[in-house]
Amino acid sequence: MAPAGSSRWCPTTQQLMMLEEMYRSGVRTPNANQIQQITSQLSLYGKIEGKNVFYWFQNHKARERLRLRKKLTKQLQQQQQLYHQLQHNPHFLHYLDSPASPAFQHLSCYNPASANLFLQAGIHDEGGKQVTNYTWNIDIPENVDKNKAIMRMYGSDWLMMVDVGLPLSSLPCYSMISRPPLKTLELFPVTASNLKEECNNIKNNNSNSSNSLSSVSCNITPAKVPVSLP
């Protein structure tokens, strides 16, 4: 709303709503006649004159164009940045192994039969900067269907709930991720879980089936670790 002695038009809420509705409806550059009629209508809801309507559409159109262009260029350069990163880190985006993620099916290359992971630590050059990468070997129970695993909070602990998929017992097993996890992934196997009753069942069932926990590995590459800082 316009303050009493305001030097410029301040559209009332209703006026704005109507203008926006018209804009949505396709009005872009009303001619003089349309402007006059719009003005008369809007004048029912507050002081307004033709030029206000004229300028409003002009500004609105221009600013929408601007917003759109800005958005597009931003998206573009984000894409380019991503592609650039892809070149230097080709693993990126190639890790989603679940068919439940349709958009990634064409990118994923998970081979559940050959799923041996390894620890790797090395220094390589990345964009002129030396970077240390680590991968960890994490012991996870064998036979787990990792695609069915889910993350949950349990009390104050962060759990990775995995299905060990035993032929005789399909009961899920809970493996605990230690806290603080801030040091990045200290995952350890829970043979005799301290958690829930279900695990006792598994444990019992496992006792004779020699379901040793051979290590599944999780290849984890932690944060950039510059070897030398300026």
Q: Per CB under 8 A, which of residues 30..59 are in contact with a second copy?
A: 30-41, 43-51, 54
Residues 173-192 that bind a second copy (CB under 8 A): 177, 179-185
Helix axes 32-42, 50-88, angle to 10 degrees: 100
Nearest residue (CB) to DNA, 138 versus 161: 161
What residues numbered 33-72 form the site for DNA, per CB under 7 A?
51-52, 55-56, 58-63, 65
Determine, following the binding rule CB under 7 A, whether residue 7 of this chain makes contact with DNA: yes
> What is the rounded CA–CA span in Å between residue 43 and residue 167?
77
Q: How many CB atoms lie within 10 A of CB 12?
A: 16
Q: In the bound complex, what is the minimum distance in angstroms from residue 162's beta carbon to a second copy?
A: 7
The Cβ of residue 222 has, within 10 Å, a number of other Cβ atoms equal to 13
CA dihedral for 122, 125, 130, 133, sign (positive or negative): negative
Give whichever of 51 and 88 is closer to DNA, judged by the CB atom.
51
Give whichever of 63 and 224 is closer to a second copy, judged by the CB atom: 224
Shortest Å distance, C-beta 208 to a second copy: 25
Q: Is the separation of the CB atoms in 189 and 139 below 8 Å?
A: yes
Residue 217 in contact with a second copy, rule: CB under 8 A: no
